[in-house]
Amino acid sequence: MRRLPLQADFLVIGSGVAGLRAALELSREGRVVMLTKGHPLQSNSIFAQGGVAVALSEEDDVAIHLTDTMKAGHGLCRREAVRVLVEEGPDRIQELIRWGAKFDKTGGKFAFAREAAHSRSRILRARGDATGNEMVRVLMAQAGRHKRIHRLDYHFTVDLVVEEGRCCGAVVLDENSGEQIIVPAKAVVLSTGGAGQIYARTTNPPNATGDGMAMAFRAGAQLQDMEFVQFHPTALYGPSSPPFLLSEAMRGEGGQLRNHKGEAFMPRYHPLGALAPRDIVSRAIWAEMAATKARHVYLDVTHLGADFVKRRFPTIYSTCLRYDIDITEEWIPVSPSAHYMMGGVWTDLNGATTLPGLFAAGEVACSGVHGANRLASNSLLEGLVFGMRAGVAAVAWASNRTQPDLAVQVTALRHAQRHRLEDAEKLRNSLRRTMWGHVGIIRSRESLIRATAQLSRWAQLVSRPFATRADLEVKNMVQVAHCVAESALWRENSVGAHFRSDFPEAKRSGWKQHSQLSLGEPAIERERRRGRGIVVALRPPVAR
C-alpha cells in the first residue's frame, strides 16, 4: 500500500465550478489536491446551458433577486443563505470577468435574458447556451496558474476517512491501475455535483451518481431536504437520443409548449404560462401527456426565426440536428427529466457540514439557497459564492491542525477484501426505473412504500466494499435513492418539486420543517423508519 507522493493540506473532491473556486481559495494557504473521477470535462457545470443569474443589470437589484429566489423556494429557503448568494454574487461574477470570462453582449452591454420565475432579465450567458462551459474554462485556466493546485483525474473517491471525529482524508481508487490508496488532508471540500442518474430519465451526465452525498452520509454527516428533486420540464425526447437538456431560456425567448393537438396548454395551468416555475411546468406537461396518452409534448421555437435560433442556441440547434430535428422548422419533442438536487449534505453559511473537517459546496450541498424548488440559473452562482466560502472556512478550520497520521487506516485498507457486484448494470437500470416510476414527479404513500422496501433489499446487496468504479457507483446510487425515497415518504404534503397525490395540499401542520437524514441513534424529535438504519429528523423552521 502506498500513499500519493503529493501530500495534501487540502483535498477537493470534484472539479466543477464549486470545486475549482474552492481550490483557488485553498491554494492561498497550502497544497491542494483535486480529485476527479473520469475526465475533468464531465462535470455537471460543463453542461449548464441557460446561464448564471446575477443582479447586475440597470433594472435589477439584489433585493429583487432575493425575493424571486425565496418565492421559487416555496417558503423553505434559508433566508440568510439566499442573502449571501445575491449580495456576494455580483462580486464573484465581476471577478470571473476579470479572469477572462466572456459573457454575451449586445450593443456593448451585457445581454441579460429572462427565465421562468425571474421578475427581471438577469441571466448572463456565454456563447448563447454554453455558460457553464465558459465558466469552467476560465476557472481551470486560473487554477492552472497556481503551482499549489495539483489535479488527479481518473481518481474515484471511494469513502471519506474519519479519525477521532474529524474528516481527515479519503480512500481513493486509481481508475487506471485499480489500486485503492489513502490521501490524508487537514480538511476536505466536497464538490461532487448531483445524483440525476438515480432516475431513468435525466439531463445529468453519466457520472452524476450521488457519490459525495453517499460518502458523506456513510461518514456520519447529515443530509437535508433530499425529497426535493427538480425535474426539468423540457428534455429532448426520442428513441435514439439521450434526454438532452433544452434550456429554459428557450421559453424565456418566447418558445411555446404544445400538446399533440397543437394547443399551447400552459396558460390553463398558470398565469405565467410557459414561464411558470419549473415544478409547475413539469407537472403540467405530465398531466398533458397523461390526458393525451402521449410520451411527450412539443417545444415550439419555429416562430422565433431561423437566424435568431441558430445564433442564440447554437449548441441546442446542432445537437438536435444530430438526431434529425431541425428546431428552426419543426417542433421539438420534449418531456420532463430529473435535473437538480435541492437537497444534499447540510452546510452552514460557510460550507461547513456536521462532520468537523468536511466542507461542501455546489449541488452536493444543501446550503438552504434553493428551498423546495431552485430558481433557474441560481446554481452556477451558488457554486461560485459558496465554493469560495467553503475554501475560506476550510483554511480557517485547518490553520491550527497538523497532518493526520492515518497509518492504522492504511493498514486496514491494505488487508481489506473487496468484492464484485453481480449484475451491476442490471441493478443500476432496475433502480433507475424504480425511482422514475415510484419516486418521480408524482408520488404517493403506496408508491413510496414500494420503493423504500425495494431499496432496502438492494441496500443489503451493496453493503460490502467493492473494487471497481462501476460497482461503487451503484452502491452510491442505492444509498442516495434510499435517502430520497425515505424523505419523500416522510413529507406528507406537497410543496415545490415534491408532489404527493395523496397529500396535494401544501400547508399542512409542520410543513416548514426540514427532513434530515443521518446514520446513528435517534435523537429528540426523530423517528426511525422501521429499523432501516436511516434516521429522519424533524428540524424546526428557521426564523425568516
The three-state (H, E, C) secondary structure of 115-156, written as one string: CCCCCCCCEECCCCCCHHHHHHHHHHHHHHCCCCEEEEECEE
Clarify whether residues 332 and 425 are in a common domain: no
Task: Evaluate the CA torsion angle 542, 211, 522, 451 in order and state its sign.
Answer: positive
Clarify whether residues 322 and 421 are in a common domain: no
| CATH code assigned at 268 | 3.90.700.10
| CATH code assigned at 514 | 1.20.58.100
Assess if residue 515 is contained within a domain.
yes
Last-in-domain residue among 337, 370, 401? 337
Last-in-domain residue among 300, 318, 337? 337
Assess if residue 481 is contained within a domain.
yes
Assess if residue 506 is contained within a domain.
yes
Clarify whether residues 420 and 534 are in a common domain: yes
pTM of the model: 0.91
In angstroms, the Cα distances linking 539 to 280, 487, 491, 511, 527 are: 26, 13, 12, 11, 12
Clarify whether residues 421 and 535 are in a common domain: yes
Q: In the annotation, is 278 catalytic?
A: yes
Count of residues in the chain: 544
Last-in-domain residue among 279, 309, 337? 337
Closest by CA position to 354, among listed 85, 88, 539: 539
Clarify whether residues 420 and 333 are in a common domain: no
Clarify whether residues 326 and 423 are in a common domain: no
Assess if residue 395 is contained within a domain.
no
Q: 278, 312, 374, 529: which one is catalytic?
A: 278
At residue 44, the pLDDT reads 57
Assess if residue 171 is contained within a domain.
no
Q: What is the DSSP letter of 178?
A: -
Assess if residue 11 is contained within a domain.
no
What is the Cα–Cα distance from 489 to 110, expressed in whole angstroms?
45
Domain count, the chain: 2
What is the Cα–Cα distance from 371 to 224, expressed in whole angstroms?
10
Clarify whether residues 332 and 441 are in a common domain: no
Closest by CA position to 385, among listed 405, 400, 370: 370
Clarify whether residues 319 and 421 are in a common domain: no
Residue 77, helix vs strand vs coil: coil
Query: Tens place of pLDDT for every residue, the chain, 544 residues?
Result: 344 445 789 999 999 999 999 999 999 999 999 999 988 666 655 555 568 999 999 899 999 999 999 999 999 999 999 999 999 999 999 999 999 999 999 888 999 988 878 999 999 998 876 788 899 999 999 999 999 999 999 999 999 999 999 999 999 999 999 999 999 999 999 999 999 999 999 999 899 999 999 999 999 999 999 999 999 999 999 887 788 889 888 998 999 999 999 999 999 999 999 988 888 999 999 999 999 899 999 999 999 999 999 999 998 999 999 999 999 999 999 999 999 999 999 999 999 999 999 999 999 999 999 999 999 899 999 999 999 999 999 999 999 888 888 888 888 888 788 999 999 999 999 999 999 999 999 999 999 999 999 999 999 999 999 999 999 999 999 999 999 999 999 999 999 999 999 999 888 888 999 999 998 643 333 344 433 344 454 443 333 3
**DSSP secondary structure string for all residues of 101-113:** ----EETTEE--B
Long-range contacts, stretch 171-176, CB < 8 angstroms, 24+ apart: 171/409, 171/413, 172/4, 172/35, 173/468, 173/469, 173/472, 175/37, 175/38, 175/469
Instruction: Give the distance from CA 395 to its chain's centroid.
Output: 24
Count CA atoms within 13 Å of residue 537 on its CB side.
16
Clarify whether residues 420 and 533 are in a common domain: yes
Assess if residue 308 is contained within a domain.
yes
**Residue 305 structural domain:** 234-337
At residue 48, the pLDDT reads 56
What is the Cα–Cα distance from 59 to 72, expressed in whole angstroms?
20
Clarify whether residues 426 and 332 are in a common domain: no
Assess if residue 77 is contained within a domain.
no
